[in-house]
Structure 1
């Protein structure tokens, strides 16, 4: 016989609501990096799947995402409860502010989706200046580490919650070694924190997106490829990413957002500590 399941670790008793009202119906979801890209797409899908939202970014463009999310909810006959919080998640103070201010405006989120990150430069590792290595780590590891540190104690105290980290299959890739190392850290963070938090009823999981087609960024991560040599290094990244995919193409934003929303939902209640590659067969 299986061991008795504690109340705070039990599976959801009625999952029909996931079909009838949406995968995230009744949940308050905090999404970082929500002004553009995967974060924005996930926010809009979460609204369509019944979630209320706390949207965070360091750009006030996140307010446009909130407006779009409200329109999506309205079109489905639902009034969206939402808030936006600006913050620089490369710092502990920024993450602490986002969690405390979001909780103050609404309540403690049921789900935290950490979508801040992304390659700033592309070049062979020996050509990275030390300050650029540090910048890549600050950009793609620390926002997730700080957000987990800021929200986990409250989730554990409440006895329930889900954290979904957005990593990358670039943990095995060329010309982005500092970024690869940062996302490798996100993977390790996810696995280790899941072991620590499970007994308290908190799930921690991650997706690892591959190359993703998206509109041109309205908030650039960096100066972009300036010289012909830099453009060549970036093309190598694109070619390697495409060739590593069994489909030989980039994914789409919806193809990245749907797995995140699934993992955030009670439909994934028995998935914990896992990193799900979303790279068209590239396992990262």
Structure 2
């Protein structure tokens, strides 16, 4: 990109240690943004250092707690002076299994991971955006609101979609845009922090393979997307190029709209 779309902008990217969030944060720095890389992984400073820029800073926070979200937004303001853009990338199915096989605690864990960090971070950032007279929130949802073997995760991402649309309607008069992408299956390098720290049983691996087949077969292209194919739409929606887009959940899933 020759034009620094985010010159002088301050962006907070959550879930920035791995996957889509990491890619969004690193590319945003290249496009001129001051970026706070937020994650609970203890190597987030190492990831921020990859940007090789004084405009990148890491911050450790557990965004499954409101305190973590609030502290992250406060750090962004303390470091860079304000917040212009929030990109919420925290989330991801912990387990793949038929809904009847989920335990109550596992259902709760999926909701805590894939809904609450977005809900908390939106709320924690809102006062700062209002103080600025506007801003943009981009939530990373999922097309898995229609899919198999991950009903609690699907419910959490349905909540992200609802949050996006309701918040956009409520705060448009304050100059705040709220949008989302809904990625489909995305190919990514092995995670440094595993999706399921307990590991998957052979049965769980079978259920996951069933979900992978469904996700692949549901796309028109019959393949997973790449990280770059997810990062580009997120940063477009975050930019002023999308200034008349709000309340929209954009499917980025090879034709499978979820």
Return the TM-score normalized by structure 2: 0.97
Q: SS of 1:29's equivalent? A: strand
Aligned partners of 1:168, 1:226: CA distance in 2, in Å?
22
* Candidates 113, 128, 134, aligned match of 2:87: 113
* Candidates 143, 151, 157, aligned match of 1:177: 151
Could you tell me whether the CA contact under 8 Å between 1:42 and 1:260 is conserved in 2? yes
Residue 159 (structure 1) aligned with residue 141 (structure 2): no
Could you tell me whether the CA contact under 8 Å between 1:24 and 1:261 is conserved in 2? no
Aligned partners of 1:104, 1:157: CA distance in 2, in Å?
14
* Candidates 84, 102, 106, aligned match of 1:128: 102
1:26 shift after superposition: 2.2
Aligned partners of 2:54, 2:34: CA distance in 1, in Å?
6
Aligned partners of 2:40, 2:172: CA distance in 1, in Å?
31
Task: Tell me which residue corresponds to 1:14.
Answer: none
* Candidates 213, 227, 246, aligned match of 1:272: 246
1:228 shift after superposition: 2.4
Q: SS of 1:119's equivalent? A: coil
Aligned partners of 1:227, 1:163: CA distance in 2, in Å?
38
Could you tell me whether the CA contact under 8 Å between 1:225 and 1:231 is conserved in 2? no
Q: List runs of 5+ in structure 1 lacking aligned partners.
A: 1-18, 71-78
Alignment of 1:114-263 (within 5 A): 114-223=88-197, 226-263=200-237
Over the residues paired in the alignment, what is the CA RMSD in angstroms? 1.3
Change (3 A) 1:245 1:224: farther
Aligned partners of 2:228, 2:192: CA distance in 1, in Å?
19
* Candidates 54, 59, 69, aligned match of 1:85: 59
Could you tell me whether the CA contact under 8 Å between 2:29 and 2:56 is conserved in 1? no
* Candidates 22, 26, 33, aligned match of 1:51: 33
**Structure 1 residue ranges, 4+ long, deviating more than 6 angstroms after superposition:** none
TM-superposition CA deviations, 1:204-255 (whole Å, max 9, x none):
0000111000011001121466332211100011000001110000000011
1:65 shift after superposition: 1.9
1:21 shift after superposition: 2.6
1:99 shift after superposition: 0.6
Aligned partners of 2:75, 2:24: CA distance in 1, in Å?
21
Change (3 A) 1:95 1:118: same
1:47 shift after superposition: 1.7
Q: List runs of 5+ in structure 2 lacking aligned partners.
A: none
Q: SS of 2:196's equivalent? A: coil
Bigger radius of gyration, 1 or 2? 1
Aligned partners of 1:242, 1:64: CA distance in 2, in Å?
33
1:80 shift after superposition: 4.0
Task: Tell me which residue corresponds to 1:13.
Answer: none
TM-superposition CA deviations, 1:185-216 (whole Å, max 9, x none):
00000000000110000100000111000011
Could you tell me whether the CA contact under 8 Å between 1:47 and 1:80 is conserved in 2? no
Could you tell me whether the CA contact under 8 Å between 2:83 and 2:128 is conserved in 1? no
Q: SS of 2:178's equivalent? A: strand
Could you tell me whether the CA contact under 8 Å between 2:82 and 2:132 is conserved in 1? no
Return the TM-score normalized by structure 1: 0.88
* Candidates 22, 30, 46, aligned match of 1:64: 46
